[in-house]
Structure 1
Amino acid sequence: MKRLPIIPTMIATGFGAGFWPWGPGTAGAVLATSIWLVLSQFLMPTTTMLTTGVLIVVFTWLGTWATAKLTPHWGDDPSRVVIDEMIGVWVPLLLAYNWWTALTALFLFRFFDIVKPLGIRSLDRRKGAFWVMADDLLAGIYSAIVLAVIIYISSTWAR
């Protein structure tokens, strides 16, 4: 068997989070949320949002590339590839502004990623490296919509 390419492996597995034996997807999403939480402590809110947007774009591209490189070794959508969960959870984190909204974004994303409603499952069934990313991006979009509603409702209750 050919040796795994190290850079694609590190990217696709979320710097090794994908090797976590009990729920690698959750490990990847928790890692991404932790990265966001650290960034949010050192950056202004607008800069955190912009940085998160850049992370989504850059790692969608890198994740697609890395997944394509690993497909011959691991198959079409192996559980070790968690960069898709990372970019997916960063989508609702675009709206987060504190630890509570960040945890809510994480839980919402994992719900949509696991249950796969509203077209997510049909994207998940498609073959190819981009589609590995696409279903999690859609789960992230749905999570962001629900999070926006939660934020709106909670802000109206605070008045």
Structure 2
Amino acid sequence: MRAAELIGTVGGVGYLRPAPGTWGSLAGLVLAYVLYVLGGLWVFVLAIPLVFAAGWWATIRMTEGSENHDPSEIVVDEVAGQWVALLPVIIGAAHVGVPVLSLWPGWIVAFFGFRLFDILKPGPVGWADRRDDPLGVMLDDVIAGLLAAVVVALAGILYHVFLI
């Protein structure tokens, strides 16, 4: 497997069917946990722009000479977007010094929020997707991740204000 394919498909996860984007998002959850446990908050935060850059490069390479600007097997964009969606959870866990999985409801909200915005492509997510280029492939998921991160943060605030 070439380096671009290894990165773009997240080690072959993008070839899983059905719903490779959902599999990519699930892989993003696992990789986020591993990164956080092994390196802490700053390793996780720094990994986001690194995976974005690597994903952009891999998408360029994997789509060269193809009419399809966003093949379904490319799921590194889902990993980047899912990591952005998880930022409030990861930052929250690091801030209060609790195990990151103790905030499991935030993981669930981040996953489903990200998938919802990635599938529906509202507003700026759709704009990025319509770019029809490798940057758009990465950007639409990062923007979906940002929208999901807002939902995660709001859900956390609501939980802590009204239920605790």
Cα-to-partner distance string for 1:2-29 (whole Å, 9 max, x where unaligned):
xxx7100000001111000211000000
Once the two structures are TM-superposed, the CA of residue 42 in structure 1 deviates from its matched residue by: 5.1
Q: Does 1:17 align with 2:13?
A: yes
Q: Kindly, what percent of the aligned residue pairs are identical?
A: 32
User: Pairwise mapping of residues 40-79 of structure 1 onto structure 2 (< 5 A)?
Assistant: 40-41=36-37, 47-48=40-41, 50-72=42-64, 75-79=68-72
Secondary structure of residue in 2 paired with 1:11: helix
Partner residue, 2:25: 29
Q: Does 1:93 align with 2:98?
A: no
Aligned length: 151
Write the distance in 2 (CA, Å) between the matches of 1:42 and 1:11.
20
Secondary structure of residue in 2 paired with 1:119: helix
In the superposition, relative to structure 1, how do residues 157 and 42 fare at CA in structure 2: closer, same or farther (>3 Å)?
farther
Once the two structures are TM-superposed, the CA of residue 69 in structure 1 deviates from its matched residue by: 0.6
Partner residue, 2:107: 102
> CA RMSD for the aligned pairs?
1.6
After the TM superposition, which segments of 4 or more aligned residues of structure 1 sit over 6 Å from their partners? none
Amino acid paired to 2:53: W
For structure 1, the residue ranges without an aligned partner over 5 or more in a row are none
Write the distance in 2 (CA, Å) between the matches of 1:103 and 1:15.
24
Secondary structure of residue in 1 paired with 2:70: coil
For structure 2, the residue ranges without an aligned partner over 5 or more in a row are 94-102
In the superposition, relative to structure 1, how do residues 39 and 68 fare at CA in structure 2: closer, same or farther (>3 Å)?
closer
Write the distance in 2 (CA, Å) between the matches of 1:10 and 1:105.
25
